[in-house]
Amino acid sequence: MIKTKYGDFDGNTWEAVCQVCFKHKYEEHSYQEIKASPGDYGIEGFTRKGDAFQCYCPEQDYEQDKLHEKIRNKITEDLKKLVKYQRQLELKLNGTKIKRWILVTPHYEKNQIIDHCAKKSQEYRELKLDILDSNFDVLIYDVDFYAEYLPTALNSIGEKLYIEPDAETNEDIEGFKSSGSEQATNIINKSISIIENVASGVSTPRSDKLARTYIRQYLSGYSVVRTFEKRFGKSYERYLRNVNDMAEQLEQKKIFHESTNQDFVMKIDTEVSQRINDEFEELDRVTKNQLSRYVVALWLADCPLRFDDL
């Protein structure tokens, strides 16, 4: 089992997820899965356009050099199967020539693997196998090539999508807190208001701790949202619609809420968490919590979440 920025995988779950991604991404190119039984022919599926795919998930989180060695050896050994099983593959390909043989792996660390792919491309062109195109190419893809389809693929095998936030440091939090930016000032002042339930006041250890908490949630949540936007566009658009809809109701909810600022924020926090949890079943709980906490921190920083006494 290895850890990736989108969740944990082993060989079986990785192949299962890849197959779902291939079937969605290459449906219009007539993707055909090749089952491992009765044998492994060096590809786990192909399209009628000539793309052939092989999946590989390392057994563990290897250090950089070892991972490179494992991926390099996987490419080398599986390409040999194209020669060994070319007659069996010729029947399955039914006239399709393989133009690109693509190893799909969660991630790779060294660019030298691209050099190895180029070397193998030339080597296998020179073999002039009947099943290979004259411009045969060997490529390596990582998980980001299929990120758009991951939520559906993971859900199909009973898993949920996890989005890893950027690494946090105390320096990031302190730098933001002391930046003097409008967002930092809003979070600091509103943290005082939440704790003291007054418009103005002096920072206390409790309000300072709360401000740091909101800043941490703001910074880590921002990185998750940016990945959400970049890699999962349709889900992000749905997220944005929900956030905007909730923001539209904030002012009215504050008017009718007669308790303390702290009670009001806790109520909003609960409502946001429930909305995100209900609307995004494809996400794992940790990721949904990150997104929910970010919404509240964002509203404190950018002022949709206001208090009458500010």
Q: What share of the chain has pLDDT > 90, as a percent? A: 84
Nearest to 138 by CA among 114, 121, 124, 119: 121
276 by DSSP, 3-state: which?
Answer: helix
In the block, tokens 């794992």 appear at: 284
Q: What is the pLDDT of residue 2?
A: 94
Contact between residue 7 and residue 154 where contact means Cβ atoms under 8 Å apart: yes
CB contact at 8 A, 282 and 154: yes
Would you say residue 310 has pLDDT above 50? no
Please provide the DSSP assignment of 81-111 as one string: HHHHTHHHHHHHHTTPPEEEEEEE-S----T
Compute and round to an integer the Cα radius of gyration of the chain: 26
| DSSP string for residues in 167-219 | PP-HHHHHHHHTS--HHHHHHHHHHHHHHH-SSS----HHHHHHHHHHHHHHH
Residue that the structure tokens 């080398």 belong to: 76
Q: Determine the pLDDT at residue 257.
A: 75
Task: Specify whether the CB–CB gap between 36 and 77 falls below 8 A.
Answer: no
Please answer whether residues 103 and 77 qualify as being in contact, where contact means their C-beta atoms are separated by less than 8 angstroms. no
- Indicate whether 239 pLDDT > 50: yes
The structure tokens 């997220």 sit at 239
What digits encode the pLDDT tens for the residues 249-282?
A: 887 887 777 788 999 999 999 999 999 999 999 9
pLDDT at 252: 81
Q: Which of 161, 176, 293, 297 is nearest to 227 (CA)?
A: 161
Which pTM value belongs to this model? 0.82
Task: Give residue 247's pLDDT band: very low, low, confident or very high (50, 70, 90).
Answer: very high
Q: Helices (DSSP H) in 232-284: which residue ranges?
A: 233-248, 250-256, 261-279
Kindly tell me if the per-residue pLDDT of 309 is higher than 70: no
Tens digit of pLDDT for each residue in 83-135? 999 999 999 999 999 999 999 999 999 999 999 999 999 999 999 999 999 99
Distance CA 310, CA 308 (A): 6
Structure tokens belonging to residue 58: 């390392």
Q: Give me the helices (H) in 110-181, please.
A: 112-125, 150-156, 170-177
Geometric angle at alpha carbon 244, from 242 and 248, rounded to 5°: 115
Contact 223, 166 (CB under 8 A): yes
**Average pLDDT taken over every residue of the chain:** 93
Integer angstrom CA distances of residue 49 from 8, 26, 40: 31, 10, 22
